[in-house]
A = this chain, B = another copy of it.
């Protein structure tokens, strides 16, 4: 009995490809949709009623083994029976038909809902503030960070000067001070205005948008395989750390916060050493800077820990850890009570989160614990990695810089260029696998946590076939 067959006894044995060319119905539907929606980024139209487990079904009845899972945001696969049960509950119906303004009129169910979620918080975190998306989570974290940073300077008093109260209404200092968030080159933290200012992976995300004048430090670019390049990579780490400290000391305004992904995902699945993350704890403490870890894509199991930064054993823990995607519910975790602003209504909005998603998040996390899916993904990830390592010997150009050893199924590699990457993704699809890319020439694997050894075998077979076709 495998994990997936327990949840999904009717999951297909393997991909089902009925018609590679889109049917007339699909073309019509796409045309219909184009009239009201930007369809230029559409991979295909999905039939979510028929999708099951690790297989996504399209409108033509093709079943693809899905290693992308809605841009890394489905944790357990499609149509999970326990999530369906949660979706039918009275608690869910309430959350939908009378969505509360939680800050003013919290439901009697809220204490339990938040306590439930906190059982799955990263090591050292025991408080939570919720939002609606990854971008939103990060911007809420920035707000908490700025309020904390300024609050610390004035001793967390609740009186503001006349000058502060007046200038803020004109968007000027001292009420609206010049403060920066430091992020990293190739980072992706979202696409709102503050998050776009810390995002630095592709021009397309930010062109024509006014931005805050905030700095991007270099993120390590390692040589692979890691075990053969330890000295070089250590130097890379050291240089990046020096650079960060230099920016903090010389930026035109105070750096109030540092935000970093444990693995840069959208930016190319770039990894950094455990040491790299630990050193920022020291640096942020030294300069009184808020340390924010963005676990939006890396969180909830797929890297072989519930939260990826737990691989680094950061001590004391980071100040704020943001989440979304596989957690379905978005927001940030924290532990220092001073991150609760000194006055009510400072961190506030109409909904303050979404209880419907709390319920989904809770079931997902409970299943991860109950079925020990972390151990499971580690096993499957090691298996996948060993297969990919062998394949890389046969196709070194198409499997460059293989990344994700000891990070479970959070695996990626590079091909030679953008065109080749897109070609490989198309071949994988024609061989029954839905896979995503990142950066310009990387392939990233983001299967669900119920992805089994048998799925890994199917994928490797499809990849082998695709690489053969690509090189033909």
Mark A residues whose CB is within 8 Å of B: 29, 32-33, 36-49, 51, 56, 59, 70-71, 73-74, 78-80, 83-84, 86-88, 90, 92-94, 96-108, 110-111, 114-115, 118, 126-129, 132-136, 139, 142-143, 146-147, 149-151, 160, 164-165, 168-172, 175-180, 185, 190-194, 197, 200, 203-214, 216, 324-325, 328, 340-341, 343-351, 356, 360
Q: B residues within 8 A CB of A105?
A: 42-46, 56, 70
Q: B residues within 8 A CB of A349?
A: 133-135, 190-191
Q: Are A165 and B87 in contact (CB under 8 A)?
A: no
Q: B residues within 8 A CB of A84?
A: 93, 97
Q: Are A115 and B36 in contact (CB under 8 A)?
A: yes
Q: B residues within 8 A CB of A340?
A: 38
Given contacts A36-B111, A42-B103, 7 further A-B contacts (CB under 8 A): A29-B108, A36-B115, A45-B107, A79-B98, A92-B96, A132-B133, A324-B350
Q: B residues within 8 A CB of A348?
A: 41, 191
> Of B48, B211, B345, which contacts A171 at CB under 8 A?
B211
Q: B residues within 8 A CB of A193?
A: 139, 142, 192-194, 212
A40 to B350: give the CA distance in the assembly, Å.
15
Q: Are A207 and B136 in contact (CB under 8 A)?
A: no
Q: Are A127 and B194 in contact (CB under 8 A)?
A: no
A-B residue pairs in contact (CB < 8 Å), sample of 19: A33-B114, A36-B114, A36-B128, A37-B114, A40-B343, A44-B105, A46-B108, A47-B108, A56-B105, A70-B101, A80-B97, A84-B97, A136-B192, A147-B207, A151-B208, A165-B203, A176-B206, A192-B192, A205-B346
> Of B59, B93, B172, B192, which contacts A108 at CB under 8 A?
B59
Q: Are B108 and A45 in contact (CB under 8 A)?
A: yes
Q: B residues within 8 A CB of A92?
A: 87, 96
A422 to B36: give the CA distance in the assembly, Å.
45
Most buried by B among A84, A171, A190, A197: A171
Q: Are A175 and B206 in contact (CB under 8 A)?
A: yes
Q: In the complex, how many angstroms separate the beta carbon of A95 from the nearest chain B beta carbon?
A: 8
Q: B residues within 8 A CB of A128?
A: 36-37
Contacts known (A42-B104, A84-B97, A356-B356); A343 close to B204, Cβ less than 8 A: yes
Q: In the complex, how many angstroms separate the beta carbon of A416 from the nearest chain B beta carbon?
A: 22
A103 to B39: give the CA distance in the assembly, Å.
7
Q: B residues within 8 A CB of A185?
A: 169
A11 to B197: give the CA distance in the assembly, Å.
50
Q: Are B97 and A79 in contact (CB under 8 A)?
A: yes
Q: B residues within 8 A CB of A136?
A: 132-133, 136, 192
> Of B107, B175, B191, which contacts A48 at CB under 8 A?
B107
Measured CB to CB, the nearest residue on chain B to A39 is B106
Measured CB to CB, the nearest residue on chain B to A128 is B36
Q: B residues within 8 A CB of A93?
A: 84, 87-88
Measured CB to CB, the nearest residue on chain B to A143 is B209
Most buried by B among A40, A79, A98, A147: A98
Measured CB to CB, the nearest residue on chain B to A133 is B132
Q: B residues within 8 A CB of A78?
A: 97-98
By Cβ-Cβ distance, the 9 closest A-B pairs, closest first, are A40-B344, A171-B211, A193-B194, A176-B211, A150-B208, A83-B97, A132-B132, A70-B101, A32-B111
A62 to B261: give the CA distance in the assembly, Å.
47
Q: B residues within 8 A CB of A46?
A: 100, 105-108
Q: Are B192 and A127 in contact (CB under 8 A)?
A: no
Q: Are B168 and A110 in contact (CB under 8 A)?
A: no
Q: Are A207 and B350 in contact (CB under 8 A)?
A: no
Q: In the complex, how many angstroms separate the beta carbon of A35 from the nearest chain B beta carbon?
A: 8
A98 to B76: give the CA distance in the assembly, Å.
10
